[in-house]
Structure 1
Amino acid sequence: MTSAYSRDYSRSSNYRRVASSIAILGVLLTIFVTWDSWFILSRPNRLVPTNYIYGANLAEDSDSVVSQEGGHVAKPDHDDESEVEMELEVDASTGETEPVRNQTESSEGSDSSDCDLYDGQWYYDPEGPLYTNNTCPILSQNQNCQGNGRPDKEYENWRWKPSQCELPRFNATKFLELMSGKTITFVGDSVARNQMESLLCILWQVEVPRNRGNRRMQRWFFKSNSVTIIRFWSAWLVHHTTEPFSYVPDGITKIHLDVPDETFMELTPKSDVVVFSNGHWFPKRSVYLLNNEIVGTQLWNSPENLAMNITSTEAYEISTETSLTALATHSNYSGLTIVTSYSPDHYENGAWNTGGSCTGKDRPLFPGQVVEHEYTNIMHDKQTAGFHQAVKKRTNESKLKLMDITEAFKYRHDGHPGPYRSLDPNKITKRDPNGRPPPQDCLHWCMPGPVDTWNELMLELIRREFEGNQNSAF
């Protein structure tokens, strides 16, 4: 017969065993939860979070995003004749060999067709560019930064991310399909050439085009989809001449602000897409005319001491309105006109010819690091005003779109050739003992580089238009 003591002892032992088991299970559960949380949190993301640049929150200081370009007036680093020759010359590129990226992913995927493409931030994409300087044989040597000896490459990996939607990587196959049987024409200065060559470099990876151009005009033809890409020089977008006029002697450029450039007006009405990009030649020495009357001068003093009312920035607004209105009212033009907004330069402590520099810039600017540059902002505002005036005057079935890259590209002081603008093995790339920087290009963009983003934005505008996602003229 079991005693009462034995029964109590047995019951107590059972309780202790149950309590011990519960405690062990609790410890094991705690360990599992802790390990699982650590594992999830420690897994690296594929891309840097889009609202951060190296930990700097762009959303916290969006109103402070301005331009670090010094207090100078940006000027082209070449004269008229040499620029025309450079524009028409086709250079072979050199550099390291890297595999060509497979371009099969879709160009579709925007969350909303009316998303603001220009409100966003830069993020680091380890996938890198769609081409290299060694896989694009028509890349101008001045923009071949790797071939010219630039030691860093991180500037090639930063991509633009709109705040409210996705901007797909450029899909060359999609572009050729959308532009099947069509012509796209780039009109403007050397920055327009920069964008056009970027487009060609990307498309070259899926198809080698036929060169049908000449010294007057570049023309490339992609046989698979019968796509033609044209580019020709028009720095002011309006008629200009160096012949004597009134009291202005030969050799001074006379710019007729109210007369569109007859060269591009011969061809652009036949185009399906026209891309304008200019503005950097207005600081050049010139005389401005309206109705065949001199109304302003730039870097040239009138011997007549007449009052001049038109400045270089106002001339930019008038010429923009004139050229865009000419297309928007042309009876035979029904295409898509895309205006690439004023491209910021990043010369610091001077202009291109007064010691300005962007040496050693290898990452995008952080919010709060940029410094307001009044000239760039004025040029952007004047160009935008001219654009809006042309939109109001539109009488045909064409569409006008402003591709407003100015604000976003104020961050990209790292994307210029700087001192790596030539192949010269003896070129100077560092400051001299007195601190003077070497001659450099802080206006154009390295290729591959930030300028490739322009064509991603352009493709999205074309996709929206040709796939019927937008019906408005603006």
Structure 2
Amino acid sequence: MVAVLRSLFTIIVSVGGLALCLIILSLALPSSPFRSSLHGYLLGVDSWRKPGYLVTNLSELQTAPQDEIFKEHLSESSKEPGDSEVVFADRTVDPNGADISLPASNNTPAVDQRSCNLYHGKWVYDPSGLLYTNNTCPIITQTQNCQGNGRPDKEYERWRWKPEECGLPYFDARKFLELMKGKTLAFVGDSVARNQMESLICILWQVEAPKNRGNRRMQKWYFRSTSTSIIRIWSSWLVHRTSDPLHFAPEGIDKVHLDVPDETFMEFLPNFDVVVLSSGHWFAKKSAYILNGSILGGQLWWPKKAGKMQINNIKAFGVSVETCLTAIANHPKFTGLAIVRSYSPDHYEGGAWNTGGSCTGKDRPATKLLKNGFTDTMYKKQVTGFQRAVKKLGGGSRLRFMDITKSFGYRHDGHPGPYRSPDPNKVTRRGPNGEPPPQDCLHWCMPGPIDTWNEFLLEIIRREYEGAGS
């Protein structure tokens, strides 16, 4: 009997020792696939998704990072109706400094649940790692390279969007490329479209360096492993624009033909499997609005002799959305997926972009939704234009709406602000009379909140191509 017990004890010790060795080996190799798979197995987490433990009890904040800085976000006494709920992702650190995230504990339903609304949720502090850094992506436009331009804080990079009804996986670059195998995705629109396109390329770059096959008419990045192409085409208004004189509108004034889609991307539309549309901000620029060949309104321009304007920039935006989407939906040779990314909020406080507006010093999400009357109105017009186009839906194309406006209303911390260039002499603080430095509160830092748009994008594409509905 004693011999049997000794043998059993020896087996237990051996197995325990082997397990301990495996754990130590996995921790010693923080970047290895072996560590990733073993860590996921031990914690019961899918190897493709970074785990995160959601702290919802204030007493647990004692182990959360920088708890004193962010504790105010959970103060019930300071919350008002409609305020954002903020929770934290916890982590522990091994002796070698590697993050060991704890498994999810909130019993979140599967992300492919058909009823899940990706856009209703809250921002969650999560220090578990970035999809890329400004040093691992070589194509970031300098004005959005906030860390490269000297921005001193980094916490704005550490907040993730958490839908109420489901989980939102970290972007899986290989999964994306597999879903888009042999396909072409095009970003069409303004500079915010470029911002999102570069975010996607940066994420994908971490698994494969693409080939640059662009030309004067479009940017194009090609991923050889799956024959996937990512394209960007500039289209400020998504409808036809001319600068030649027209009636009483002189040369040099942009004439925006609200009832004619922009031929610069419609020409290539049949070649696209997915198109992501971005527009709205150029409707704040000087222009004249044309319908049925007649000038009916303008922005920052309207001669007195023309009488009363019939259409302003907000109405013009709604018409342009309907025109563009109707043309896409009814194109006889386009059977792909068209995604409208909703109006991207800016966060200029105390003025507009050209009248002293500022987002200086914003280093964390707002706890209360920052209302902006212009943004709200533009968003409503965009939704109306989208809905009208859906009613006219024809052909085999599909229209989807990526609704980011409200959730990103909280992210006044995610813009470059005054960190728009690497110039060591740039002004980053307010002047002696409180005047703000020149800054960008419209585009988004990279990495930063904008990466969430591409996590939304992957989910939309996955639901389409895996048949999960939308």
Q: Deviations over 1:49-105 (max 9, x none)?
A: xxx9831569x756457xxxxxxxxxxxxxxxxxxxxxxxxxxxxxxxxx9xxxxxx
Displacement over 6 Å in runs of 4+: 40-43, 45-48
CA RMSD of aligned residues (A): 2.3
Which residue does 1:55 correspond to in 2?
A: 74
Q: Give yes or no for contact 2:371–2:409 (8 Å, CA) kept in 1.
A: no
1:216, CA displacement in angstroms? 2.0
| Counterparts of 1:189 and 1:353, CA distance in 2 | 19
1:421 partner SS: coil
Q: Give yes or no for contact 1:47–1:125 (8 Å, CA) kept in 2.
A: no
Q: Deviations over 1:252-283 (max 9, x none)?
A: 00000000000100112220000001110101
**Gap regions ≥5 residues in structure 2:** 1-58, 85-97, 99-108
| Counterparts of 1:214 and 1:56, CA distance in 2 | 53
1:199 partner SS: helix
Distance 1:174 1:57, change over 3 A: farther
Identity level (%): 62
1:305, CA displacement in angstroms? 2.7
Within-5 A mapping of 1:83-102: none
Which residue does 1:338 correspond to in 2?
A: 339
Distance 1:42 1:449, change over 3 A: closer
Within-5 A mapping of 1:425-444: 425-444=424-443
Q: Give yes or no for contact 1:128–1:156 (8 Å, CA) kept in 2.
A: no
Distance 1:433 1:282, change over 3 A: same
Which residue does 1:377 correspond to in 2?
A: 376
Which residue does 1:269 correspond to in 2?
A: 270
Q: Give yes or no for contact 1:269–1:327 (8 Å, CA) kept in 2.
A: no
TM-score between the two structures when normalised by the length of structure 2:
0.79
Q: Deviations over 1:414-442 (max 9, x none)?
A: 00000001111110000111110100000
Instruction: Give the structure, 1 or 2, with the largest relative contact order (CA under 8 Å, sep 6 or more).
Output: 1
Greater gyration radius: 1
| Counterparts of 1:53 and 1:182, CA distance in 2 | 46
Within-5 A mapping of 1:447-462: 447-462=446-461
| Counterparts of 2:66 and 2:126, CA distance in 1 | 6
| Counterparts of 2:407 and 2:378, CA distance in 1 | 15
Q: Deviations over 1:361-396 (max 9, x none)?
A: 1000013xx442110000000001000111111111
Which residue does 1:105 correspond to in 2?
A: none
Distance 1:228 1:394, change over 3 A: same
Distance 1:240 1:42, change over 3 A: closer
Distance 1:64 1:127, change over 3 A: closer
1:114, CA displacement in angstroms? 2.6
1:45, CA displacement in angstroms? 6.7
| Counterparts of 1:447 and 1:269, CA distance in 2 | 31
Q: Is 1:321 paired with 2:322?
A: yes
Distance 1:166 1:211, change over 3 A: same
| Counterparts of 1:57 and 1:215, CA distance in 2 | 54
Q: Give yes or no for contact 1:211–1:219 (8 Å, CA) kept in 2.
A: yes
Q: Deviations over 1:306-337 (max 9, x none)?
A: 22111101000000000011110011111111
Within-5 A mapping of 1:61-460: 63=82, 109-110=110-111, 112-367=113-368, 370-460=369-459
Q: Give yes or no for contact 1:244–1:250 (8 Å, CA) kept in 2.
A: yes
| Counterparts of 2:325 and 2:66, CA distance in 1 | 40
Distance 1:358 1:306, change over 3 A: same
1:281 partner SS: helix
Distance 1:251 1:133, change over 3 A: same
TM-score between the two structures when normalised by the length of structure 1:
0.78
1:304 partner SS: helix
Q: Give yes or no for contact 1:47–1:126 (8 Å, CA) kept in 2.
A: no
Distance 1:433 1:53, change over 3 A: closer
2:306 partner SS: coil
Q: Give yes or no for contact 1:133–1:144 (8 Å, CA) kept in 2.
A: yes
1:46, CA displacement in angstroms? 9.4
Q: Give yes or no for contact 1:56–1:366 (8 Å, CA) kept in 2.
A: no
1:232, CA displacement in angstroms? 1.0
**Gap regions ≥5 residues in structure 1:** 1-39, 66-98, 100-107
